Amino acid sequence: MEKRVTFSRWSIGILFAVPQLLLIFTFFYWPAGQAVYWSLTLQQPWGGGNIWVGLDNFRSILANADYWNSITASLVFAACSTGLAMVIALVLAALTDRQLAGSRLYRVVLIWPYGIAAPALAMAFRFILAPEAGFMAVVNQVWPGFWDPGLDGTDAMASIIAAFSWKYVGYNFIFFLAAFQAIPRSLIEAAAMDGSGVLRRFWDIQFPLITPTIFFLLVINITESFQDSFGIVDIMTAGGPANSTNLMVYKIYSDGFKGLDYSGAAAQSIILMLLIIVLTIFQFRFIERRVHYR
Amino acid sequence: MASITIRDVRKSYAKMQVVHGVNLDIASGEFVVILGPSGCGKSTLLRMIAGLEEISGGTIAIDGKVVNTLEPRERGCAMVFQNYALYPHMSVAQNIGYSLKVAGVPVAERAQRIQAVARILELEHLLDRKPMALSGGQRQRVAMGRAMIREPKVFLFDEPLSNLDAKLRVQMRSEIRKLHRRLSATSVFVTHDQVEAMTLADRLVVMNGGRVEQVGTPAEVYSRPASRFVATFVGAPAMNMLEGEVTLDGLSLLGGSRKLNVSRAGLPVGSKIAVGIRPEAVRLVAPGTPGALDATVDLVEELGAGRVIYVDLDGAAFSVVTSETAHPAPGSAVGLQFSEADLHFFSSETGSRLDVFKASMPVPAL
Ligand SMILES: Nc1ncnc2c1ncn2[C@@H]1O[C@H](COP(=O)(O)OP(=O)(O)O)[C@@H](O)[C@H]1O
Ligand SMILES: [Mg+2]
């Protein structure tokens, strides 16, 4: 039996919850409420109060082709970086799980990227992927003009996807490896006795048993790719070239603080929040069903 | 059906050797039980036969073919694991049929064979359940079914009954026995439970510290243990052991306080030996009876059908099993009588059995 703490008086229970509630209120509900309020008003750039405009901000944003372009870019970024980060981490973890010698070292080494601040990481990748000097310069030598994220939108998108994935591969790897290690060895051995080879065992036994972890990481990776991408975009591409990497989170910043369109930025952040909420609900409703919780 | 030939098989983990040169021949269709205390290397040996553990030295052959480098699936063995190792995300039917699915057996035939196995194991009504929703005994049956459906040449069992309660264990024991009679596939069964071992085995292999101590039928192992270890490990309560020394006119026991008139038959005077006597072979007589050893009762353990009487023999613990209802009270004096034919002698140095004392002798005298 699990032991649960019970309080004889509800007021004591509330008292314990107060610090957490205060934190959530101060740092989430209050700012979110403010953003909702701003998104429904027109802020004067030079101060002087705001005017209630209803849904006008949303209408003008959604009527703007630039914004739809930004949504598309964000979705492409989310899909590619999540896919890449998860598949690479899954493969590395599966290989590590089989050959455990030195796995403690991998664990430490692979969690480091997650600890690096996004701008620092982006700076490093900017050098690595620079068309004239970095690693890609070699490729450019063979096929001149093949790689130039400064001019080519696709190359720029690939650059930020690479940087973001690199950061999350380590994070995902730790979780995947833990999930693989939690599978009793005897299950794998039983499957081996049943005639199942390495790949077959992976698909029939290990993969289904780590689906809870896959699901968890999917939710985290997608959510983070919408939010944690800001620093990388800012340093590596600043949204360019030609808005090709102007992700939603970056557009909020550039429209709000560079374009001084506070109300439009507030409306955009509400849309981004709703999009993440909808995506998360979708994942829980439709993907979680296929998860085998043990 | 297949024979298994094990030749000088060794296993080392890193620097530590845990199996030291095991030799064993298992005949086709035989039910062999490997018995030994925890950590003696039984599982390791079994897993080397299965192909789950690399063989560090020596060879294992199945049906005359050396399998050292073969994958588990190429060896034709099926294994039942101690924790059952059922696939938690698959139903009972999928668990049982997994090997057939891997082998590409058509769905219809697969279903039919799953049904057949489920009927034998009385699992038909559970086929759609997940392992989580099964009792220990049912899980055990599913694990057996998963092994059976492949119609393997060799069945390997690694303590499959140790997670069951006492009653279920006895029941599953007889079912395994029946199943073996029915399928008559070569079986190797590992256990640390000597009752399980004695009841199941055609032939018993007693292991200790990575070595085989004795191979024989349960009756042979019980009546002629090859070493001191086997003598005390097989049989409950354990065989009594008294330390002794060879003297000119026989044996002096317990540091000289007791004497036994037996011929030395070639053993040098002064050599240290151990004398064993099974608790079941001792008769309780009135204290002071000629030819009996006097002792004091310490404790009486009631077993229902019989009693274990623990006595103190000059400071050495000694036990007696009696079926008589009237038994001496703790603290009272008793005489212990036994015939020389029931005595076992072991070298104190090597622990191996000494048969030199089997000369005809009168009952032990004081
Ligand atoms: N993977 C391993 N690495 C190192 N030592 C091991 C490993 N597996 C088993 N051993 C050691 O080998 C010995 C025999 O183990 P095992 O065959 O499991 O014993 P048992 O007779 O209880 O089944 C034990 O001392 C155990 O500690
Ligand atoms: Mg074991």
Domain ranges of chain A: 64-290
What pLDDT does A4 receive? 67
Chain B residue numbers with beta carbons less than 8 Å from the beta carbon of A186 are: 81-83, 85
Q: Average per-residue pLDDT in chain B? A: 88
Shortest-distance Cα residue to atom 20 of ligand 1:
B39
Considering only CB atoms, B102 lies closest to which of A194, A292, A294, namely A194
Among the residue ranges A33-47, B151-165, B176-190, the one predicted with the least confidence is A33-47
Shortest-distance Cα residue to atom 27 of ligand 1:
B39
Which chain B residue has its CA at the smallest distance from A292's CA?
B89
CATH of domain A64-290: 1.10.3720.10
* B49: phi then psi, degrees, rounded to nearest 5: -65, -40
Distance B193 CA to ligand 2 centre (A): 12
pLDDT over 60 (residue B361): no
Distance B305 CA to ligand 1 centre (A): 38
What pLDDT does B359 receive? 46
What pLDDT does A100 receive? 62
CA distance B222 to chain A (A): 34
Which chain B residue has its CA at the smallest distance from A201's CA?
B102
Radius of gyration of chain B (CA): 25
Give, for ligand 1, the residue of B13, B206, B211 to mutate: max count of ligand atoms closer than 8 Å to Cβ.
B13
pLDDT over 90 (residue B327): no
Own/partner pairs, A111-117, CB within 8 angstroms, 24+ separation: A111/A170, A111/A171, A111/A173, A111/A174, A112/A170, A113/A166, A113/A167, A113/A169, A113/A170, A113/A171, A114/A167, A114/A168, A114/A170, A114/A171, A116/A167, A117/A231
Query: Which amino acid is residue A152, in one-letter code?
Result: D
Is the minimum CB–CB distance between B78 and chain A shorter than 8 Å? Answer: yes
Whether pTM > 0.95 for this model: the answer is no
Check: complex ipTM more than 0.95: no
Query: Starting at the edge strand that comes first in sequence, how are the strands of the sheet with B240-247 ordered?
Result: B258-260, B250-253, B240-247, B272-277, B343-347, B353-354
Beta carbon of B191 within 6 Å of any ligand 1 atom: no
What is the number of other CB atoms lying within 10 angstroms of the CB of residue A122?
A: 24
What pLDDT does A45 receive? 65
Instruction: Say how far apart CA B40 and CA A172 lie, in whole Å.
Output: 40
Q: How confident is the model at residue B366 (pLDDT cuts 50, 70, 90)?
A: very low
Q: How confident is the model at residue B363 (pLDDT cuts 50, 70, 90)?
A: very low
Considering only CB atoms, B83 lies closest to which of A186, A194, A204, namely A186
Instruction: Say how far apart CA A166 and CA A25 lie, in whole Å.
Output: 33
Q: How confident is the model at residue B365 (pLDDT cuts 50, 70, 90)?
A: very low
What is the number of other CB atoms lying within 10 angstroms of the CB of residue B50?
A: 23
Q: Looking at chain B from residue 40 to 69, which residues have their Cβ under 8 Å from any Cβ of chain A?
A: 50-52
User: A221 near A86, Cβ under 8 Å?
Assistant: yes
User: B37 near B192, Cβ under 8 Å?
Assistant: yes
User: A244 near A77, Cβ under 8 Å?
Assistant: no
* Every domain of chain B and the residues it spans: 4-229, 237-360
* CATH homologous superfamily of B4-229: P-loop containing nucleotide triphosphate hydrolases (3.40.50.300)
Tell the residue number behind the tokens 């070239």, with chain if given: A241
Structure tokens at B79: 């294994």
Asked whether the beta carbons of residue A190 and residue B79 sit closer than 8 angstroms, the reply is: yes
Q: Looking at chain B from residue 305 to 334, which residues have their Cβ under 8 Å from any Cβ of chain A?
A: none
* CATH homologous superfamily of B237-360: Nucleic acid-binding proteins (2.40.50.140)
Residue B40 CA, closest ligand 1 atom number: 21
Chain B residue numbers with beta carbons less than 8 Å from the beta carbon of A194 are: 73, 98-99, 102, 146, 150
Over residues B165-199, the pLDDT tens digits come to 888 888 889 889 988 988 888 999 999 999 999 99
pLDDT over 90 (residue A87): yes
Instruction: Say how far apart CA B366 and CA B363 lie, in whole Å.
Output: 10
Over residues B19-59, the pLDDT tens digits come to 999 999 999 999 999 999 999 999 999 999 999 999 999 99
The average pLDDT across A228-249 equals: 86
